[in-house]
Amino acid sequence: MSTPETKGKVLLTDDDKFLLDMYSMKFTQQGYAVEACLSVDDALRVLHEGFAPDAVVFDIAMPERDGFSFLQALHDEHLALNAVRAALTNQSDDAEKSKALSLGAELYLIKASMVPSEVVNIVSDALAKKRAHS
Domains of the chain: 8-128 (3.40.50.2300)
10 Å CB burial of residue 16 (0-12, 13-18, 19+) is middle
Quote the pLDDT of residue 2: 40
| Cross-sheet strand order for the sheet of 55-58 | 32-37, 8-13, 55-58, 84-89, 107-110
Q: What is the per-residue pLDDT across 79-102, written as a single tens digit (0 to 9) for each?
A: 999 999 999 998 888 999 999 999
Of the chain, the percentage scoring pLDDT greater than 70 comes to 96
Q: What is the per-residue pLDDT across 7-34, written as a single tens digit (0 to 9) for each?
A: 999 999 999 999 999 999 999 999 999 9
Say whether pLDDT at 74 is over 50: yes
Quote the pLDDT of residue 1: 42
Average pLDDT, the chain: 93
pTM over 0.75: yes
